[in-house]
């Protein structure tokens, strides 16, 4: 049965809507074959998974591409290695932005409408790191512009900061479909870009918003409620950067009684800013 035949069969059977965000690709073998031929690999180990046409293409709005466009010979480690190579070759934030936008090795990108790189002041000395873009961020291409973003703006304002004095990024530049948790391989392919982002932006202080950046930036799995409010450190380009983990603004929307904990963390951040005038 060809694709059209299969579709007609589903329609005849009464199917009138997609049940999942990600389509089940029933033609994987069929679609992978021409791709493998396009790369014309002498052997699986010799081909680059990043050859033209081998990776993922960002889907136009409303179109979800099947996962078969990933090179069937590529392994997660190949993509992680490639991400590392191209991230480290970037010497400016603009180069890094272009590299992330061009990267085709992370499956999350196929579901996202935009690459969400950063917002705020690239010269700002305080970097806020969230988890991943949500619906609004995926629409606009900017981090923290939805409800959680409004809450973040209030948190910044409470200690005299705003987006002109801070720099805001996420661990992941692409929204996971349905805001699901990204799988470890998806995160691993984004981490080289995140680490280079921190090196190039060179913040004097980092604020981690929630457990996900705590885990992925510092490798700390103790949980945000345990680690928040305590100064930690991140090593970037030979410098020790003070890091304050605090509660994610979306969590505060769900647990408003915990705003008092976030307020304590903000006061600690403010205190350090006052002590180190060059930060402000």
Site track for ligand URA across 210-249, x = CB under 6 A:
----------------------------------------
Give the residue, chosen from 55, 124, 134, 182, that forms a contact with ligand URA under the rule CB under 6 A: 134
Using the rule CB under 6 A, give the single segment among 60-68, 107-115, 129-137, 227-235 that binds ligand URA: 129-137
Residue 25's Cβ-side half-sphere holds a number of Cα atoms within 13 Å equal to 14
CB of 209 to ligand URA, least distance (A): 6
- Crossing angle of helices 147-158 and 259-275, rounded to 10°: 50
- 148 is a site residue for ligand URA (CB under 6 A): yes
Strands 126-130 and 205-209: parallel
Scan for tokens 């996971």, then name that residue.
176
- 137 is a site residue for ligand URA (CB under 6 A): yes
CA distance 266 to 163: 16
- 143 is a site residue for ligand URA (CB under 6 A): yes
**Residue whose C-alpha is closest to residue 108's, from 56, 35, 71, 145:** 56
- 250 is a site residue for ligand URA (CB under 6 A): yes
Structure tokens that stand for 187 in this block: 């995160």
Q: Which residue is nearest to ligand URA (CB)?
A: 130
Neighbours of 173 (CB within 10 A): 28
CA distance 123 to 100: 20
- Cβ(192)–Cβ(80) below 8 Å: yes
CB of 137 to ligand URA, least distance (A): 4
Give the residue, chosen from 144, 167, 174, 193, that forms a contact with ligand URA under the rule CB under 6 A: 144
If the CB atoms of residues 104 and 131 are measured against ligand URA, the closer one turns out to be: 131
Using the rule CB under 6 A, give the single segment among 24-32, 138-146, 158-166, 229-237 that binds ligand URA: 138-146
Scan for tokens 């983990």, then name that residue.
245
Positions that interact with ligand URA (CB under 6 A): 130-134, 137, 143-144, 146, 148-149, 170, 250
């Amino acid at each position: 049965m060809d694709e059209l035949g299969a579709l007609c069969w589903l329609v005849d059977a009464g199917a009138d809507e997609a049940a999942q965000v990600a389509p089940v690709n029933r033609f994987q073998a069929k679609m992978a074959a021409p791709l493998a031929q396009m790369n014309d690999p002498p052997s699986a180990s010799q081909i680059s998974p990043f050859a033209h046409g081998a990776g993922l293409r960002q889907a136009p709005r409303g179109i979800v591409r099947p996962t078969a466009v990933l090179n069937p010979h590529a392994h997660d480690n190949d993509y992680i290695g490639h991400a590392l190579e191209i991230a480290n070759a970037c010497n400016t934030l603009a180069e890094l932005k272009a590299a992330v936008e061009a990267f085709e090795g992370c499956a999350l990108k196929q579901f996202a409408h935009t690459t969400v790189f950063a917002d705020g002041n690239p010269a700002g000395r305080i970097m806020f790191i969230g988890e991943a873009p949500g619906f609004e961020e995926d629409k606009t291409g900017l981090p923290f512009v939805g409800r959680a973003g409004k809450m973040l703006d209030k948190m910044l304002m409470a200690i005299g900061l705003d987006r002109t004095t801070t720099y805001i990024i996420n661990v992941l530049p692409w929204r996971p479909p349905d805001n699901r948790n990204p799988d470890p391989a998806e995160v691993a392919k984004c981490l080289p870009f995140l680490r280079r982002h921190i090196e190039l932006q060179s913040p004097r202080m980092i604020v981690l918003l929630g457990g996900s950046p705590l885990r992925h930036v510092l490798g700390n799995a103790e949980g945000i409620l345990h680690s928040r409010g305590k100064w930690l450190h991140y090593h970037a380009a030979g410098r020790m950067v003070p890091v304050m983990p605090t509660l994610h603004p979306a969590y505060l929307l769900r647990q408003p009684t915990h705003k008092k904990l976030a307020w304590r963390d903000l006061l600690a951040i403010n205190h350090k800013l006052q002590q180190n005038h060059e930060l402000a």
